[in-house]
Structure 1
Amino acid sequence: MDPIYKALIVCTNHTDYPTKPHKTGLWLSEATHFYDELADRNLPYDIASPAGGVVPIDEKSLDRRDNTNEKWYNNPAFRHKLEHSLRLNEVLPSDYQILYFAGGHGAMWDFPENVMLQAITRQIYENGGIVAAVCHGVSGLLNVALSDGSSLIDNRQITGFSNMEEKLVRLDDEVPFLLEDALKQKNTLYSKSMIPFIPYIEVDERLVTGQNTLSARKVGRKVMEEMYEK
């Protein structure tokens, strides 16, 4: 019998850009494509967010024809978890062996400085769990310190949304900082695909990161591989 693992998917609550009229939030496929890989093994999961409650969906991520989005966004259980996400203080880290930070630009505002999120990450990682993140969700790893005071991502192979991709979506002047620059400043071994917007992941022991939206499924697949095939 395979062991039963449980996953915690963390999503943003932040919706506003400084000057753009449209709203940000979770980029839906970054949650659904990742979870689709876990669903194959019927993995139990919870969805949490910094403030709890409704996870806002980036409007632009809803207007794309995406069968996986439609499958899960219209799934009553998944939708309920998105609309009634756990607050971080309701999360018991010892319950989870997988932690996943979904992206969407909103994450750049409410992930990096969240001390409770950093504590949950540290505990799951130090308990032997896998920590994964995709696109702007990787910002949640920037300030995670381990119990010995060292940075989780120091000298680690990592990726995340690139400066070039941010410029191409014309949001480089809206975000509070550029993720690629911030990761490099943290002494990570940052890398990215040669071509923007293609699936790209980095794996460094129990740390799995994906560069952009299209990497979410690949991250999920790699997490499953690491959990079950090692």
Structure 2
Amino acid sequence: MMKKILLIITNVDQYASGNFKTGLWLSELTHIYHAAREKGWQITIASPKGGNTPVDPESLKPLVLDGISKKYYQNPGFMNELTHTKSLDEVKNESFDCVYLAGGHGTMYDFPDNTTLQIILRNQYENNKMVAAICHGVGGLLNVKLSDGEYMIKGRNITGFDWFEETLARRKNEVPFNLEAALKERDVHYKKAFIPMTSNVVVDGNLITGQNPFSSKEMAKVVVSELDKQAFN
């Protein structure tokens, strides 16, 4: 059965200070995109405003640019998709089997307070469909409230980029908030890898989260596996 998957990415290209460029962390999109494409699923890429999504230059450095991400970065067709993303308003009334929030520091600015994104995620969650987010993209889950007024992530097992990793990334003085602390304020059961900057994916029912860019490959596998299970239930 063909699945429909919505991949949401940022429009923001720099930190508020203007000191550094940011944007989408490429591998957090390419691995899920590649996995969904291999399955023949229908993929929609959207961003809060639509149009261009910048790629964080840090995610293109040789030490972190893996083979799959490099292949897609060199693919004009794929890069054209990043230049012409749909806006959230264009897709808000569509139905998807999975809504997936890719990360990158840019998402810390245009995900958490986006009301259209919150509506999409609330509807997805309340219809018992998959919500997935990785790294800083998890910040897009912070302010989503359900119909009963409770935060969607309250009491759930969840992960996301931790504060020590932010220190290692040398961005703790640039980011608009501490993601780990913000998640804990929502009374989540926060789960982080024993070793920073290693893969960690947490599944809690229809909510799947990945901790950092190094979780991208495992995250794609888990999302595909969980969606395949649904097809047989």
* Identity across the alignment (%): 46
2:102 paired residue number: 102
Does the 8 Å contact 2:142/2:182 carry over to 1? yes
Residue 115 of structure 1 and its aligned partner are, at CA, apart by 0.5
Q: Which one of 40, 43, 48 corresponds to residue 41 of structure 2? A: 43
Query: Which amino acid is 1:8 matched to?
Result: L
Letter in 2 for 1:28: L
> In 2, distance between residues paired with 1:93 and 1:5?
17
Please tell me the residue identity of whatever aligns with 2:205: E
Question: Structure 1 residues 16-25 or 220-229, which shifts more?
Answer: 16-25
Q: Secondary structure at the match of 1:69?
A: helix
Aligned pairs for 1:19-34 within 5 A: 19=17, 21-34=19-32
**RMSD (Å) for aligned C-alpha atoms:** 1.4
Question: What residue in structure 1 maps to residue 73 of structure 2?
Answer: 73
Match of 2:190 in 1: 190
Distance in structure 2 (CA, Å) of the matches to 1:153 and 1:122: 11
What does the per-residue CA deviation read over 1:80-101, in whole Å, with 9 as the maximum and x for residues that have no partner? 2211001111014433111010
Match of 2:180 in 1: 180
Structure 2: runs of 5 or more not aligned = none
SS in 1 for 2:218: helix
Q: Does the 8 A contact of 1:93 with 1:124 survive in 2?
A: no
* TM-score normalised according to structure 1 size: 0.94
Deviations 1:4-28 (A, max 9, x none): 2111111011122233633000011
What is the CA-CA distance between 1:69 and the residue it aligns to? Answer: 1.2
CA distance in 1, matches of 2:57, 2:168: 18
**What letter is aligned with 1:193?**
A
1:46 touches 1:81 (CA, 8 Å); kept in 2?
Answer: no
* 8 Å Cα contact 2:51-2:84 kept in structure 1: yes
- More displaced 10-residue stretch of structure 1: 70-79 or 172-181: 70-79
TM-score (norm 2): 0.93
CA shift, 1:179, in A, is 0.4
Equivalent AA in structure 1 for residue 70 of structure 2: E
Match of 1:115 in 2: 115
Name the residue aligned to 2:4: 6
Amino acid at match of 1:145: K
Whether contact under 8 Å (2:37, 2:43) holds in the other structure is no
